Amino acid sequence: MVSERTKFYRDKKNGYLMGVCAGLEDYTGIDAIWWRIAFVLLIGTSFGIPLYLLMGIFASKKPQHLYVDQAEQKYWQGVRQSPKRTAREIRAQFRDIDRRLANVEHHYVASNQRLSAEIERLR
């Protein structure tokens, strides 16, 4: 199953013609001006116009509710670029949270003698 956040969409709201370059910016994180320059350079090879038109015709329009904020947009761009790296980063964040929670738990139990004694009785 493909998430709607990992698909390519045309972005008519931020685009000029069909929204292809703005959609590529949203999909890859590379500024739309670079995509526009690339398409202008490809026009000289007579490959740019058909490619642009095909992408503009067959790509769906970007849904309004796709991202809540910029941070979520950057996250999904990272997922599209490198899913394994994103999963590694999330696992590292969970390990860090788990370590910090264990430190808090150890501090609380070590400073509370009555709780520590009660835990020892339960063992």
**88 lies in the same domain as 43:** no
Please report, in tens digits, the pLDDT of each residue of the chain (123 residues total): 456 666 777 777 777 788 888 888 878 878 888 888 888 888 777 777 788 788 888 877 777 777 667 777 777 777 777 777 777 888 888 999 998 988 888 777 777 778 778 878 887
* Statement to judge: residues 42 and 88 lie in one domain: no
Total domain count, the chain: 2
Reading the block at residue 51, the tokens are 């490619």
Q: Which domain holds residue 35?
A: 1-69
Do 87 and 57 share a structural domain?
Answer: no
Residues 116 and 61 in one domain: no
Question: pLDDT at position 5, please?
Answer: 63
* CA 91 centroid distance within chain: 15
101 & 123 share domain = yes
pTM assigned to the model = 0.53
Report the alpha-carbon distance of residue 59 to residue 42 in Å, rounded.
Answer: 20
pLDDT for the residue numbered 1: 45
